[in-house]
Amino acid sequence: MAMTDPDQPLRSTRDTGPLLPRLPAHFWAVPHVGSRFPGSAAVSRLPGLAAGANCQLFAYEVLRHFGLAPPPLRSSDLWDDTAATVRVPVAQPLDLLLFNGTHDPYGAHVGVCVEDDAVLHLCAEVGHPAVWALADFAARERYRVLIGAKSVSAA
């Protein structure tokens, strides 16, 4: 299989191949900053990831890099959205996964499925992007419930 240029977005949401090698280095240096969430004044003043991000903003920027168009929604609004996303029974690469301590999507943690049983996410516990297996989430009280997966429309 030919390698693709990591700075070029994907053209198809299902032509994912190995995603992590195609993620530019600057994504791995993003610090967790809880106040930088979609729709916040901090993000409006300084868009992008350079000043840090919360889990949602980080996940959405990863999807944008790969040519998808996630809406700038908070987690509970994302879970309820049907205009730009669809709930899927089994997560595929580039689908969003929502985790919480309960089945309530309000305040849920958002990550990106990058392959079977591998989720790229940004959380306060680690402080920078990490890849965890589903068991790693289940082992933590605040992430123990996988609320579900959402697929995002292409840009």
Structural domain count, the chain:
1
Is residue 124 one of the residues assigned to a domain?
yes
Tokens 């195609």 sit on residue: 22
Is residue 132 one of the residues assigned to a domain?
yes
Dump pLDDT digits (tens) for 54-104: 999 999 999 999 999 999 999 989 999 999 999 999 999 999 999 999 999
- What domain range is 137 assigned to? 25-152
Is residue 15 one of the residues assigned to a domain?
no
Is residue 6 one of the residues assigned to a domain?
no
Measured torsion, CA atoms of residues 56, 61, 67, 70, in degrees rounded to the nearest 10: 30
Supply the pLDDT for residue 155: 66
Work out whether the CA dihedral 67, 73, 76, 82 comes out positive or negative.
Answer: negative
Is residue 8 one of the residues assigned to a domain?
no
Is residue 18 one of the residues assigned to a domain?
no
Is residue 12 one of the residues assigned to a domain?
no
Percentage of the residues of the chain whose pLDDT score is greater than 90: 83
Gyration radius from the chain CA atoms? 14
Tokens 């029974």 sit on residue: 89
Is residue 7 one of the residues assigned to a domain?
no
Q: How confident is the model at residue 8 (pLDDT cuts 50, 70, 90)?
A: very low
Return mean pLDDT, the chain: 89
Gap between the Cα atoms of 141 and 125, Å rounded: 12
CATH, residue 41: 3.90.1720.10
Gap between the Cα atoms of 19 and 8, Å rounded: 12
